[in-house]
């Protein structure tokens, strides 16, 4: 393949005020504000986030998952506990979440420790999902090698058409990431971007620092 030179790909960003004056003291409220604004303009799901994990082999891995709930307790997503991410979280619960909202030229980074949510909460969400999604997650050995896709699709189809109540498998459920650090990044004109980091202190307050862009 010929070399693709992307050095000329450049866009100027519209500037939005993001300064010590407009910043909220509580990072959860700051997230809530930006999330609400992103939800209005992002064509794709504003709750899509990149989850990065790293197990005992110290090799970081990233993938998109959907944020399904957030509160001051943390950020919740659902997955297969035996997947690559699940295994890595077992080995090392530290995770990074990344939201990129291009229409507002914003990025939010969240770092924290993940833990499994209680079974009842996973079950409640599992039951609220469309039957086809329930069937797929109950039959998928997520992240293992799939030799026969056609067979897998047929198994899903027959489970759905059987009309039987689909059980949530024990290896499926939610994780909650409890943040210890947030970073909010706002793109500005002339590349003068604004970055603010919030670090959780021992007394549970948040220390705010402006970072060089
Ligand atoms: C938009 C989008 C949303 C996704 N949402 C989820 C999700 O909520 N949970 C999940 O397990 N995988 C989700 N995936 C699939 C993951 O990116 C990934 O392929 C899968 O979880 C296996 O990752 P792993 O092998 O690193 O564990 C989503 C992918 C995309 C592109």
- Residue-wise pLDDT for 129-142, tens only, equals 999 999 999 999 99
pLDDT at residue number 133: 96
Ligand 1 atom showing the smallest separation from residue 79 Cα: 11
pTM for the model stands at 0.95
pLDDT at residue number 12: 72
CB of 64 shorter than 6 A to ligand 1: yes
pLDDT confidence bin for 188, thresholds 50/70/90: confident
What mean pLDDT value characterizes the chain?
95
**Domains and their CATH numbers in the chain:** 27-129+170-211 (2.30.110.10)
For 60-67, what is the mean pLDDT? Answer: 98
pLDDT confidence bin for 191, thresholds 50/70/90: low
pLDDT at residue number 157: 96
CB of 69 shorter than 6 A to ligand 1: no
Ligand 1 atom showing the smallest separation from residue 86 Cα: 27
CB of 146 shorter than 6 A to ligand 1: no
Report the alpha-carbon distance of residue 168 to residue 170 in Å, rounded: 6
Pocket residue to mutate for ligand 1, from 42, 62, 65, 134, most atoms within 8 A of Cβ: 65
- What is the whole-number distance in angstroms between the Cα of residue 188 and the centre of ligand 1? 31
CB of 140 shorter than 6 A to ligand 1: no
- Render pLDDT for 75-119 as a digit per residue (tens, 0 to 9): 999 999 999 999 999 999 999 999 999 999 999 999 999 999 999
Whether the Cβ atoms of residue 14 and residue 189 lie closer than 8 Å to each other:
yes
* Residue numbers annotated as active site: 191
| CA-proximal residue: ligand 1, atom 4 (nearest) | 65
CB of 84 shorter than 6 A to ligand 1: yes
């Amino acid at each position: 393949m010929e070399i693709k030179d992307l050095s000329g790909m450049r866009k100027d960003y519209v500037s939005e005020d993001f300064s010590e004056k407009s910043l909220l003291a509580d990072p959860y409220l700051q997230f809530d504000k930006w999330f609400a604004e992103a939800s209005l303009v992002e064509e794709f799901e504003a709750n899509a986030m990149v989850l990065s994990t790293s197990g005992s082999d110290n090799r970081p891995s990233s993938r998109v998952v959907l944020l399904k709930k957030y509160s001051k307790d943390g950020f919740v997503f659902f997955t297969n506990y035996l997947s690559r991410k699940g295994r890595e979280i077992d080995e090392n619960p530290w995770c990074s979440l990344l939201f990129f909202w291009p229409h507002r030229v914003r990025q939010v980074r969240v770092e924290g420790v993940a833990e499994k949510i209680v079974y009842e909460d996973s079950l409640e969400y599992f039951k609220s999902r469309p039957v086809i999604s329930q069937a797929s997650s109950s039959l998928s050995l997520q992240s293992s090698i799939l030799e026969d896709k056609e067979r897998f699709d047929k198994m899903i189809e027959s489970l759905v058409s059987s009309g039987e109540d689909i059980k949530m498998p024990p290896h499926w459920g939610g994780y909650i990431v409890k943040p210890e650090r947030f970073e909010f990044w706002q793109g500005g004109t002339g590349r003068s971007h604004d970055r603010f980091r919030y670090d959780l202190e021992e007394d549970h307050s948040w220390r705010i620092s402006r970072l060089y862009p």
